[in-house]
A and B are shown apart, each in its own frame.
Chain A
Amino acid sequence: MSSSDDIPTSTFRPFASRWAGARISGSAGGPFLTPIQAPDVVSPVTKRKRPNLVGPQTIVKVNVHACGDGFIDGDETHHQSFPIHKNHICHYSPFFDAAFNGNFAEGESQEVDLYEVKPEIFGIFVNWLYTQEIMSEDGEAPSVRSLVYLWLLADRILVSSLQNQAIDLIERTRQQKGNDRLPSEIFPIIYDNTNANSGLRLYVVRVCSAPYLAQIKNSKNYPPQFLLDIVNAIRDRSTGKDRLASVLMTPYHVPEEGGGGDRAKRLKTQ
């Protein structure tokens, strides 16, 4: 499990492009054959200190709404407020860093209204903020479906290390179940909320294009693009005889960068 302590940041270029390496490229079958990319040696690795609670900390508030902006939802479970230590959330998430430390309204009020996010998923994130562990309310590992939502949330608020922990956990859960399958209900969610090169998409395509899988049922859960990706993946793969035992996860990770790291790198006025 990677911790966010080791975050490569390039410190000497005030306008360094925000991503040193390319994201995953190529078809779904490709990553197994592609050697793991060497870390970008140009950027020196500097450690940003993990936040702690030793000193008194400012508390900020995140109001999470499951509904879209402008809707009023009567169901209490669909909108909740989370008081969070500012140093923690800003350390891990550049999004919240920009919100709470920027010159927008949120910077003034120290309160963010976050729409179209399930509060229980956000709760997992908050818990992770303090523990670096992913668990649901009952202390167990969340369902694959929740993990997918968690990954999407982390993607949106730019917390790479949480994305990677989540996708690793998805793979582990799949193996523990012993049937190699992922619940098909997650496919449309993934395909609606990611881009073509997203690690999560590539991962599910890889899993679903493995040999000896049961037939596809529930066709309504397979977006056309997903099916296309699976077909291409199978066709591209030259050495397709291996039973999918375990998937090397590195190709599905996104490069990790620190929460505020992105922003810290940019030039400020004197």
Chain B
Amino acid sequence: MISGRGRGKIRPPRRNPLGGHGDNDFESQWDILSSALREIHTKNASQLSFEQIYRASYKIVLKKQGDKLYDRVKEFEEQWFGGEVMPNIQKLITPNLVNIATGGMSGVTANERRMTGEEFLRGLKAAWEDHITTMNMTTDVLMYMDRVYCTDNRKPSIFTTSMGLFREHVLRSVISDSRAGLIIFDILNSVILDQINMERDGDVIDKTLIRACVYMLEGLYESDDENELEKLYLTVFQVAFLADAKEHYQKECATLLRESDASTWLRQTRKRLAEEDVRCQTTISMLTSEKIAKVVEEEMISAHLTEFLAMEGSGIKAMIENDRYEDLTLLYQLISRVDLSKAPLKIALQARVVELGSEINKTITESESAPAPPAQPEDGEAEAGDKSKATKQSAAAKQTAAAIRWVDEVLTLKDKFDTMWKNCLSEDLILQTALTKSFSDFINLFPRCSEYVSLFIDDNLKRGIKGKTESEIEVVLDKATTLLRYIQDKDMFERYYKKHLARRLLHGKSESADVEKQMISRMKLEIGNAFTTKLEGMFKDMTMSEDLTAGYRSHIQNLGDLDRKQVDLGINVLTTNYWPMESMGGASSRGEDGTLMSCSWPTEIMNLQESFKKFYLKERNGRKLTWLGFLGSADIKCVFPKIPGKEGILGRERRHELNVPTYGMIILLLFNNLADGESLTYEAIQQSTNIPPQDLSRMLFTLSVLPKARVLTKNPANKELPKPGDKFSFNASFTSKAVKIKAPVMVGAVNKVEGEEERKDTEDRNDEHRGYVIDTVIVRIMKARKLSTHQMLFSEVIAQLAQRFNPNINMMKKRIESLIEREYLERVEDAQVPTYKYLA
């Protein structure tokens, strides 16, 4: 009750609105307030008049006694904590709780520990919530003091102060019977951590209760400045929590390393990460989620990553081996968390690719050399004799099959890693680059990769795509393109591809011109224009030749003299530069000096050639036509007269149509002019045909030894390769069930793996060619620069050639020597570093 002096008339309050003097006034107002505070703290406020209490504090502040009021309220709270709050909390602290907090063993079961812990937390939570409720009411009552006194004097609001009091007088109060000077906060931390560890071990705990206590810590600060970074949660609890988690996961990971496999480890780690995240959401605070994730990542992933990856039977090797996609996916996700470059995974994957790739290389190399006879330089012999035919042919075919198998296996491996990359590695770009590099590495380690890839394409374009739909063909082409991308020595590949393509085209083996063109345009995209011009030229030649043949045919018909024994001509005009003559079988027809040796054509043929030449040059003046005897084939009608006195088949006249290579035709025409029973010697044939000896022997072998088209007899009659001194005559008693007979094919008609020598040849030729290319590049660079150091020149040359092949340093040195000799370049004498100068 205030303002006790009675006044008859109401006047505005004058000098002493409190109606009293000094301290007495204060004390009487404070009495009202303190008893009200007590009621509030004991939750009995509903009978109090708010207006009255507020007015009491308002008046105290108006009387400039706000400081006194402020201090009294503080004092009141302190006493309240000491007298009413703390005794209850102290009661909840059992020796066990103290034991846990000091790190001693508690000697009780987890369940008991949980119960006592929860008791303590509940007590603390209740004290906190009471405090909040009370202080909200107290602050309402003291609002005028806060607004006027606290603001003017820059004091923290009474609410803030009371929060600080809670921190000092509850959380930081020393436990009565503690030896180590423990404070309540220590107990609180250790109880929460203990509970969390119980949960990590699979127990169920009261998350809401812990969350309430954490909420309290989030609402309290180190000082009354209430700096956001100094929440007690952050400065005290989180520190302890992270340290505890670190220790826990260190142990857990060590145990996993000792007792489990990588698969278990991956799953446990994922589980832990998820658990901790949920824990932050439900039990502690989201403020910690990133930090705890980091702790788990460090202790569970980074710490022993390499050991887990190397685990026998479950590590990364086994994961890749056994397509454990789930493991790999997990592994990728976990590693991505700790290492953006994913280095450990990258290294492991690369090693695995190279390892598996090398295995493929090795098995193919072994299976290739093992069953096949070591020396098989002349593939033309592959079909010698009925008996050896099966084994020998299969040996060659086996090699080709090996090439296809190599490609298939490489592609399978690629598919495997592609699938893995898509399914498990989130199509990670870093890993893709790494994988591509590894594939390229092991493929280029295989010396025959260029040849094999070309053979693979050859095989598919010949037979493989038969009956396939467009999209299936697309897949094959894709595969081929993929492989092509990996190959470093593009020039080698070009060489093989040209060779294989030439045979496909000339022998009409190509399944579809369309697909051929698609392949070319793909290569154009991958490697560039320069690479495919020659290939396109080959196609152009083929089309032109068709037109020419048709044109020539109608030209002959128009001449009208059909009575002659006209030889029908199908012609292929090949542009010298586009076609790989040597590898088409022309090698043997070159003399020592490299000039082309021409065979002697029979008259009939010469006439025909002349006639065509006239026709051809009519529209194309100045061109030179060279007839290549080693290519092409001829259909010959043969009549075998009946042999008198013989019965059966030999007693009749037999007509056959014989398809033989051009050389075969030339040889056989010689026998037309021979009387019955006469024979020709090897030398005679050689002389009159001028066929290169190697080709001649082979051709005669086909015609006089191999049974299928044995229209000649050889003397002596053995199965050896015809050689000078042998005699040949018409085999009048030749029989065959077929009317049309195709003479067994000579070398060059079928694309198959090269033999060792042939391969060496190819390489030599390629090296020779590279030499020219290097020359060109060096000269081009020097012409532009005039002066260049050795170092610069080399790196530039390598850079310019990278697209085609990886130039050999020694070869480059030799080329430079040779260019200096030929006076394109000279050395700069007194330069500090080796330097070259261009000589115009």
Contacts and interface: CB of A to CB of B under 8 A. Distances in A.
Interface of A: 13-19, 22-23, 66-71, 73, 75, 78, 94-95, 98-99, 102-108, 112-116, 118, 149, 156, 158, 188-189, 192-198, 223, 262-263, 266-270
Contact of B219 (A15, A17, A71, A73): A15
Given A18-B147, A71-B6, 6 more contacts: A13-B226, A15-B160, A73-B10, A102-B137, A106-B49, A267-B159
B151 A18 contact: yes
B150 interface: yes
B143 A15 contact: no
A116 B14 CA distance: 12
B51 interface: yes
B45 A104 contact: yes
Interface string B625-642: 000000000000000000
Contact of A102 (B62, B140, B147): B140
Contacts of B144: 156, 158
Nearest to A148: B12
B170 to A, nearest CB: 16
A62 to B, nearest CB: 9
A190 B33 CA distance: 25
Most buried by B among A66, A75, A196, A266: A266
Contact of B15 (A17, A23, A188, A197): A188
Nearest to B140: A98
A22 B149 CA distance: 11
B179 interface: no
Contacts of A188: 14-15
29 contacts: A14-B219, A15-B157, A15-B159, A18-B147, A18-B151, A19-B147, A22-B154, A68-B4, A78-B10, A98-B143, A102-B137, A103-B45, A104-B50, A105-B49, A107-B50, A114-B51, A115-B51, A149-B12, A189-B12, A189-B13, A192-B15, A192-B16, A196-B152, A262-B143, A263-B136, A267-B136, A268-B136, A269-B132, A269-B133
A204 B154 CA distance: 24
A76 to B, nearest CB: 12
Q: Which secondary structure characterizes the binding site on chain B?
A: helix
Nearest to B53: A104
Interface of B: 1-4, 6-7, 10, 12-17, 19, 45-55, 58, 61-62, 64, 129, 132-133, 136-137, 139-141, 143-144, 146-152, 154, 156-157, 159-160, 163, 212, 215, 219, 226, 228
Most buried by B among A66, A102, A112, A198: A102
B298 to A, nearest CB: 32
Given A22-B154, A73-B10, A266 B139 contact: yes
Contacts of B129: 269-270
Given A104-B45, A267-B132, A192 B54 contact: no
Contacts of B10: 66-67, 73, 75, 78
A167 to B, nearest CB: 16
B144 to A, nearest CB: 7
A142 B12 CA distance: 17
A116 B64 contact: no
A118 B152 CA distance: 28
Contacts of A262: 143, 146-147
A95 B139 CA distance: 11
Contacts of A13: 226, 228
B357 to A, nearest CB: 59
Contacts of B212: 270
A63 B152 CA distance: 32
B50 A98 contact: yes
Contacts of A17: 150, 156-157, 160, 226
B51 A23 contact: no
A196 B49 contact: no
Contacts of A69: 1-3, 52, 55
Given A23-B152, A105-B48, A192 B226 contact: no
Contacts of B6: 71
Contacts of B64: 195-196
Contacts of B139: 266
Contacts of A66: 10
Contacts of A268: 132, 136
A263 B219 contact: no
A29 B140 CA distance: 35
Given A15-B226, A16-B226, A270-B215, A104 B147 contact: no
A23 B150 CA distance: 10
